[in-house]
A = this chain, B = another copy of it.
Amino acid sequence: MRYELSQTIALLECTPVALNALLRSLPDFWTFSNEGEGTWSAFDIVGHLIHAEHSDWIPRATMILQHGESQTFKPFDREGQNEKSRGKSLPQLLDEFAAVRGKSLSQLRAMNVQDGDLDRRGRHPAFGPVTLGQLLATWAAHDLTHLHQLSRLMAYQYREAVGPWSVFLGVLQCTGHSSAA
């Protein structure tokens, strides 16, 4: 299927609004619980999404358009949010995510990416050559992988409360997957 940038942008616009609607008014039970030591809470996920806006998507897209394969992307620090999220509330992070995502999308529009640009290449530190189209599709899929993680870690809080229904709830059978970008 042909990749269309407009579909990516449509999803990227919705994610901050959806996370805000889901999380903003929930008690800490849902938003600060995780799946055990070393795993993330909803709070951590929103912090991670903010960090990725600053460090990953637009910086890498800019590097592809300006330098092609001659420069290698900086590796992305998956735990980079910890320092920046400290002392903030979840509503603050949700507002910040909406703001930085809005700014990223403005920058993306200003790049005026044409269909022909989607095959332009950059260099990933692990994968080697990757295209601008792959990077932009990954930006949207990365939102979804964290929505997937979020629904799983929230459901995990009810793994005992649901009693025998656990066998029918697919999300409780999900063993979790590492995720980075």
Chain A, range 125-181, C-beta contacts under 8 Å to B? 127, 130-131, 133-135, 137-138, 140-142, 144-145, 147-152, 154-155, 157-158, 160-165, 168-174, 176-181
Query: Is A39 interfacial (CB 8 A cutoff)?
Result: no
Nearest-Cβ distance from residue A56 to partner chain B, whole angstroms? 11
Query: Is A114 interfacial (CB 8 A cutoff)?
Result: no
Nearest-Cβ distance from residue A172 to partner chain B, whole angstroms? 7
Which residues of chain A have a CB within 8 Å of any CB of chain B? 1, 3-4, 6-7, 10-11, 13-15, 17-23, 25-27, 29-30, 124, 127, 130-131, 133-135, 137-138, 140-142, 144-145, 147-152, 154-155, 157-158, 160-165, 168-174, 176-181
**Can you list 25 A-B pairs, Cβ within 8 angstroms, ordered by A?**
A1-B157, A10-B27, A11-B154, A14-B26, A15-B22, A17-B21, A18-B19, A18-B22, A124-B164, A127-B163, A130-B164, A131-B163, A134-B162, A138-B169, A141-B161, A141-B162, A144-B158, A145-B169, A145-B170, A145-B171, A148-B151, A148-B171, A168-B181, A171-B179, A174-B177
